[in-house]
Amino acid sequence: MEALITPLSSSPSLSLSSSLKPNSSSFPPLTTHPFIFPKSHKEKPSLSSFRVQNSKFGNFLDLIPENKSTPIKFDLNWLDPSHKPRLDVIIIGTGPAGLCLAERVAQNGIRVCCVDPDPLAMWPNNYGSWVDELSSLNLDSCFDKTWPMASVFINDHKSKYLDRPYGRINRKMLKMKLLDGCVSNGVKFHKAKVWKINHQEFESSIVCDDGNELKASLIVDASGFASSFVEYDKPRNHGYQIAHGILAEVEEHPFDLDKMLLMDWRDSHLGNEPNLRVTNSRFPTFLYAMPFDSNLVFLEETSLVSRPVLSYKEIKLRMAARLRHMGIKVKRVIESEKCLIPMGGPLPVIPQPVMGMGGNAGLAHPSTGYMVARTLALAPILAESIIECLGSTRMIRGQPLYHRVWNGLWPIERRLTREYYRFGMETLLKLDLKGTRSFFDAFFDLNPEYWHGFLSSRLSLMELAMLSLSLFGHSSNSSKFDIVTKCPVPLVKMMGNVVVESI
């Protein structure tokens, strides 16, 4: 698929703003009939209640994704379990989190083995990131396409252009780079699924589905959001980001080629879809789009956060209505992805004998779901704590090791700022379409240092407090009303959590 991504095209782009001028006369006004709160978002609207076009290329949902994932060709150092190898660290999972940590930890002679059912499989997800986040890690070569600006459509009449370059990560290149680092630093690989982890005082072991049992001083679980190895002692009340994305060849599209579309909150496409419009006005979704050239585009209809999770079918129906309204005719679906990211919620128990990393260690941004750049940035910090304990000069194992590594990844200051980001998520959960639009209208008017820092999880507590004041100052009266009436409960919860964490 990477071959399909062409460099920034010089062909004239169609302007979104000019080609999609609102035509309010053709759509009924926002419905005023009472909204019935669904018992659960699982309640599915019947397909027959929506008009889904069936003409040629009319409904992309019928198209089968063409790309079959091909494994990466790379010479790995495979572990020979029959030799009962001595290992310092076993890392479960070779996603972005597992590999970037393995590469760093092994730099100092620590014996690391990564275990995954398929270490050479292509990562399935499409990753995007702000360019500065990867540049600061010297990974700017790992984008297959960048856009100098991003755009946000607040509504039919208001859009914003964000002067911050954004890029689509070339996941093959990033994985190869991390694998290369791992191999150079002596990381071993074992192809298996981990079934169980056992702990003794100074050592742990994993039991694999191939019957092998491997021992190490530390087990790091980087097996993603669905992991059951990392333990929690609080209810996992996270929100969910859910999205349906396609990389598609289209007849034409209205997006500027020099901008990626970060969020399109317009709902004029639901003018003739009263049911979808009602649910969208309470649980809004937006379009995220990365135009590669005039015929190739990645499109994703996204629910930023919902609890309980919004129905996937509803997301797809909204997307079909949106593309139809925009005149986007999909000729081929090259790839499709279902994105489901648990966001916010409590951190795992700190410390505990299994070290978490990535999706299962609370690293996804609680308000946005982004995680890759942050994980890459935190890997050296966690690696340093591991090396301090297991390096040749100090053999710290058992409880002191677990204590140091967990507190290395989640020192108190980072835990407190995470509480703030969780508060951000709880606030977003309370906003309907109108509130969400006002929120982002004010948010992207903030001093770029604030909104850049917030989205990249790099603000201190003091900076977050300043951001809140500034956001309140920039908010419309209705938004201020929303904040004053809807935020006190999440605010009190956040303060309570901050106090508990501080103790």
Ligand X SMILES: Cc1cc2nc3c(=O)[nH]c(=O)nc-3n(C[C@H](O)[C@H](O)[C@H](O)COP(=O)(O)OP(=O)(O)OC[C@H]3O[C@@H](n4cnc5c(N)ncnc54)[C@H](O)[C@@H]3O)c2cc1C
- The C-alpha angle 443, 446, 447, rounded to 5 degrees, equals 150
By C-beta, is 457 or 475 nearer to ligand X? 457
- Residue 178 exposure: Cα atoms within 13 Å on the Cβ side: 28
Q: Measured between alpha carbons, how far is 214 from 142 in angstroms, rounded to an integer? A: 33
Give the residue at shortest CB distance from ligand X: 95
In three-state secondary structure terms, 484 is: helix
Residue 159 burial (CB count, 10 A): 16
Q: Residue written as tokens 């209205």?
A: 254
Least distance between ligand X and beta carbon 281 (Å)? 26
Residue 226 burial (CB count, 10 A): 9
Q: How many residues does the chain have?
A: 503
By C-beta, is 254 or 369 nearer to ligand X? 369
Least distance between ligand X and beta carbon 143 (Å)? 12
Least distance between ligand X and beta carbon 318 (Å)? 18
Q: Measured between alpha carbons, how far is 496 from 423 in angstroms, rounded to an integer? A: 11
Least distance between ligand X and beta carbon 256 (Å)? 20
Determine the distance from the C-alpha atom of residue 232 to the mean position of all C-alpha atoms in its chain, rounded to a whole number: 21
CA–CA distance from 300 to each of 20, 37, 151, 242, 318 (Å)? 18, 25, 15, 10, 11
By C-beta, is 360 or 497 nearer to ligand X? 360
Q: Measured between alpha carbons, how far is 94 from 179 in angstroms, rounded to an integer? A: 9
By C-beta, is 370 or 410 nearer to ligand X? 370
In three-state secondary structure terms, 302 is: strand
Angle, helices 96-106/372-390, rounded to nearest 10 degrees? 30
Least distance between ligand X and beta carbon 137 (Å)? 13
The candidate with the shortest Cα–Cα distance to 87, out of 185, 180, 182, 187, is 187
Q: Measured between alpha carbons, how far is 128 from 454 in angstroms, rounded to an integer? A: 17
By C-beta, is 224 or 271 nearer to ligand X? 224
- The residues that touch ligand X, with contacts defined as CB under 6 A, are 92-98, 115-117, 123, 125-129, 193-194, 222-224, 337, 339-341, 358-359, 364, 369-373
Least distance between ligand X and beta carbon 453 (Å)? 16
Q: Which residues contact 44 (CB under 8 A, 6 or more apart)?
A: 311, 313, 314
Least distance between ligand X and beta carbon 169 (Å)? 7
By C-beta, is 247 or 364 nearer to ligand X? 364
By C-beta, is 91 or 390 nearer to ligand X? 91
Least distance between ligand X and beta carbon 427 (Å)? 21
Q: Measured between alpha carbons, how far is 5 from 270 in angstroms, rounded to an integer? A: 31
By C-beta, is 241 or 280 nearer to ligand X? 241
Joined tokens for residue 457: 């999880």
Least distance between ligand X and beta carbon 315 (Å)? 13
Angle, helices 433-443/461-474, rounded to nearest 10 degrees? 110
Least distance between ligand X and beta carbon 244 (Å)? 10
By C-beta, is 115 or 387 nearer to ligand X? 115
Joined tokens for residue 429: 């959960």
Pairing of strands 296-306, 239-250: antiparallel
By C-beta, is 60 or 298 nearer to ligand X? 298
